[in-house]
A and B are shown apart, each in its own frame.
Chain A
Amino acid sequence: MNFAFSAILIIIILLPGAAVLSAYYGSFQSKQSTREIPLVDLLIKGLLWSIFLHTSAICLLSFFKYEVSFDLIYAILTGQPIRISNAQATHAFRTFTTYTGLLIISVWVIVKFCKRIIYNNKFDINYYSLRITNYWYHIFSARYLEGRGVPGTLIMTDFLFLDVYVDTQMIYSGFLTDFNYSPKNDMLENIVLSNATIRKFEHYSVRNQIAGDVLVIPMANIKNINIYYIKVKDNED
């Protein structure tokens, strides 16, 4: 029982570090999110962040003459016999949960704020370690064009036109209108084209218009994708 309780306590202590990584790399928008990181990995990878955050938080609290009593936690983790009253236990529990909860919330908000600054200033495009979106979002949102040494810009692009080569040796062409990405499997699930046409690989000019508003192509059938970033301009420009 003590062992299980100690394990839960360790997880709670490591949660702020995991919150940093989760807030930075994760997103509520699955199309933007990077690969989903399992909780155990988050806890291990966020270990150094947790130590840093707890140290900073304790220093900050002591500056304002507050303190969190860690003696009870230490006693539980080391398996020492504990004899305290209900009032003491309640107080210790309340201060510890408040401290951890506030730390996690503040860290989450700060990281989201930093993430927004990084995104707006496009630092994530040129520095791979700061990458906060998945590869396909990077390409399909045309943020790829904002990278150093890449010709063109996002603002110049009006839409994307795709040639999609599938395993039946056919090429589907059309305007990209949407895509679905699975953060859990870290893969593109499907792409959605409008005004789609189909043609055989060998007969490039012979093509057929596909009826319907949009065409959904599962990624499992796709061999490769050729992407055109298209700009429309008036003839008198």
Chain B
Amino acid sequence: METQFFFKTKVTFLESLLDFFTHKADDHVRISDRGRKILDNRELATKIANAIIKGHATLEKGDSIPIQGTDISINLVTSLENQQQ
């Protein structure tokens, strides 16, 4: 039991050290914890996707779009268009 604890601690420490030097980041794509929960719920994610597509103009103006059947709404943080490099 003690050996296992020692081993686990050591591995965690080494992993942390390796992560530090290899500059590891968990989120290469920005998805917050709340965002992850929403995307895991396929029905809710579909509703949000529909709301974004339908409310394109409203989003551009910076207004909130309520998601029907839920108590949440969405906002545009900002937007940008990128031409292919």
Contact = CB atoms under 8 A, between A and B. Distances in A.
Interface string B23-47: 1110111111011001100100110
A233 B73 contact: yes
Nearest to B65: A230
B21 interface: yes
A157 B79 CA distance: 11
Interface string A180-206: 000000011000001101000000110
Nearest to B20: A116
Contacts of A109: 21
Contacts of B38: 158-159, 232
B17 to A, nearest CB: 10
Q: Which 4 A-B pairs have the closest CB atoms?
A: A142-B30, A158-B35, A152-B77, A229-B77
A231 B75 contact: yes
Contact of A225 (B21, B34, B48, B82): B82
Given A161-B49, A232-B73, A234-B73, 9 more contacts: A32-B23, A140-B28, A141-B27, A142-B30, A157-B32, A158-B34, A230-B35, A232-B34, A232-B75
Point out which of B29, B31, B46 has the most chain A C-beta atoms below 10 A from its C-beta.
B29
Given A175-B45, A175-B49, A177-B31, A235 B71 contact: yes
30 contacts: A32-B25, A109-B21, A112-B20, A116-B23, A140-B30, A141-B28, A141-B30, A157-B77, A175-B39, A175-B49, A176-B29, A177-B31, A179-B29, A194-B45, A195-B39, A205-B53, A209-B46, A224-B81, A225-B81, A227-B80, A228-B52, A228-B79, A230-B35, A230-B48, A231-B74, A232-B48, A234-B71, A234-B73, A235-B72, A235-B73
Interface residues of B, number: 43
A170 to B, nearest CB: 14
B76 to A, nearest CB: 6
Given A112-B23, A194-B45, A223-B84, A151 B78 contact: yes
Nearest to B23: A27
A230 B84 contact: no
A233 B75 contact: yes
A230 B75 contact: yes
B3 interface: no
Nearest to A158: B35
Nearest to A142: B30
Contacts of B35: 157-159, 230, 232
Contacts of B49: 161, 173-175, 195, 197
A159 B52 contact: no
B85 A135 contact: yes
Nearest to A235: B71
A145 interface: yes
A130 interface: no
A222 interface: yes
Contacts of A233: 64, 72-75
A160 B30 contact: yes
Contacts of B23: 27-29, 32, 112, 115-116, 119, 132
